[in-house]
Copies of this chain bind each other. A is one copy, B any other.
Amino acid sequence: MENQDIRKAGLKVTLPRVKILEILESSDARHMTAEDVYKELLDRGEEIGLATVYRVLTQFVNAGLAEKHHFEGGQAVFELDRGHHHDHIVCQQCGKVAEFYDETIESCQRAIAAKHGFEITDHSLIIYGRCVRQNCPNKS
């Protein structure tokens, strides 16, 4: 019962929050912009404003329920925090996002931070490329 997650975050269990959480959970893409979420709400016949979508997504991020990433291209994307840290590899042609986790990279980062006298709070690693798979509409 994920509504408990909302409540545990100190937030009231309102229709917009429940619906937005549902959308994040059911999305195939798993990485959605605020606009994507808003459009999906409209498709489902919900009357929820874009401002609310932004507010709720921000609250989810602050509560640790979701993460926000800045891929290239203006809009931030949000994804549910499923508890497994990972980085991203993004196809610049079809927009597909793959996730990966590499312990060697993680530990190198820790070593680098230590060497430079930094205490890591967060990090962002995004590989951009072209996916050479059958389903990528290589448009050029």
Q: Does any Cβ of B come within 8 Å of A4's Cβ?
A: no
Is the pair B100, A105 in contact by a Cβ cutoff of 8 Å?
A: no
Majority SS of interface residues in chain A? Answer: strand
On whether the beta carbons of B128 and A122 are closer than 8 Å, the reply is yes
> How long is the Cα–Cα vector from A137 to B30 in the complex, in angstroms?
39
As for how many copies of this chain the complex holds, the number is 2
Is the interface on chain A under 10, 10 to 19, 20 to 34, or 35 or more residues? 20 to 34
B89 touches A113 (CB 8 A): yes
- B112, A131: Cβ atoms under 8 Å? no
Residues of A within 8 A of B (CB): 70, 72, 89, 91-92, 98, 100, 102, 104-105, 108-109, 112-113, 115-133
> Can you list 26 A-B contacts with CB-CB less than 8 angstroms, sorted by A residue number?
A70-B70, A89-B112, A89-B116, A98-B118, A100-B112, A100-B115, A100-B116, A102-B108, A105-B108, A105-B109, A108-B108, A109-B127, A112-B127, A117-B133, A118-B129, A118-B131, A119-B129, A119-B130, A119-B132, A120-B129, A121-B128, A121-B129, A123-B128, A124-B124, A124-B125, A124-B128
